[in-house]
Amino acid sequence: MPHPRPTDVTHRLVPGPAGRVHLVEQGSGPLVLLVHGFPESWYSWRHQLPALAAAGYRAVAVDLRGYGRSSKPEAVRAYRLAELVADQVAVVQALGGAPAVVVGHDWGATVAAHCALLRPEEFRAVGLLSVPYTPPGGPRPSEVFARLGGGTEEFYVSYFQEPGRAEREIEPDVRGWLAGFYAALSADTMPAPGAPDPHFVSPGGTLRDRFPAADRLPAWLGEAELDVYAGEFERTGLTGALNRYRAMDLDWKDLADRAGAPVTQPSLFLGGSLDASTTWLADAIEAFPTTLPGLRSSHVLEGCGHWIQQERPEEVNRHLVDWLDSLDSPG
């Protein structure tokens, strides 16, 4: 079984707008900032840190605010995209690495895209894993998500947006809930086609009701790795992480003047063919010539689920390094 924490990394705390940002770094060279999603931490990049370091890059994986050892402000508005972008700018400036490359997964992909959109002087290129870029604008997010499920089921985002509700489900058994959530979105353990969709909640039910049987972990997730994730959330709770969902309508207001704006820096997209984030947002991928005009590399990994850099680390590392190496050559 893999060691639960990678070796040869340095843990640091740097000042940020909310207080502090915890980061883990390895290697030297051009700065590559790695931003995790929900419900993860810097640890989701444990396979990429040594690979990028070996390729000649300074790989830095952060804990987003609300996670791990980073600050955890109470107010929902503190988890707006503008605030999360400001944290990443603070990291880049503290490390003297501007302009940096930023790579994100899941919510981290959305944060990374907005880093590039809002602070192009700090971020020279952007990599998106699992969640494609969708420009600001359109209908209010809470109204869109409320319509999903056809009135008989509730979409998980709406479920997460109600303060305290998901915490009551998750926090009595953080480890068991995380195991089920990770399994529900992993290629080798996700529910079979035709089974109830784990992205939705039945009336009066919980998200956990649709998770796979708890006796089987995904191949990428050993007991030691699960212990790392569970230990972090048992200590911090889930409210900070869930507040990102609760801030979405605030983003909609904040970014109204950026409606339809493309991200023009050199970019990368990697998705999994079995990941709902990739399949449901197929229209966003098709729009990349307009929304990501600097796209240099785009790959959908066959048979891969949502946790792409952990499910298929060698492929992801190869694509990342090839793309990074291309950034200083003609596009």
The catalytic site residues sit at: 106, 306
| CB 321 within 8 Å of CB 51 | yes
| CB 170 within 8 Å of CB 242 | no
Which residue type is seen at 213? A
Beta bridge mates, 295: 267
Q: How far apart are CA 317 and CA 55, in angstroms?
A: 10
Residue 277, both tokens: 């984030």
Distances (CA, A) of 227 to 57, 75, 135, 290: 29, 28, 36, 42
Burial 125-143 (b: 16+ CB within 10 A, else e): bbbbbbbbbebbeeeebee
Angle at the Cα of 186 from the Cα atoms of 216 and 204, rounded to 5 degrees: 80
The total of other beta-carbon atoms located within 10 Å of residue 3's CB is 9
Residue 181, both tokens: 């959530």
The answer to whether the bond into 132 is cis (omega within 30° of 0) is no
The total of other beta-carbon atoms located within 10 Å of residue 278's CB is 24
- DSSP alpha helix (H) spans, the chain: 48-54, 81-95, 107-118, 141-147, 156-161, 165-170, 174-184, 223-236, 239-246, 248-254, 276-279, 282-286, 288-291, 308-311, 313-326
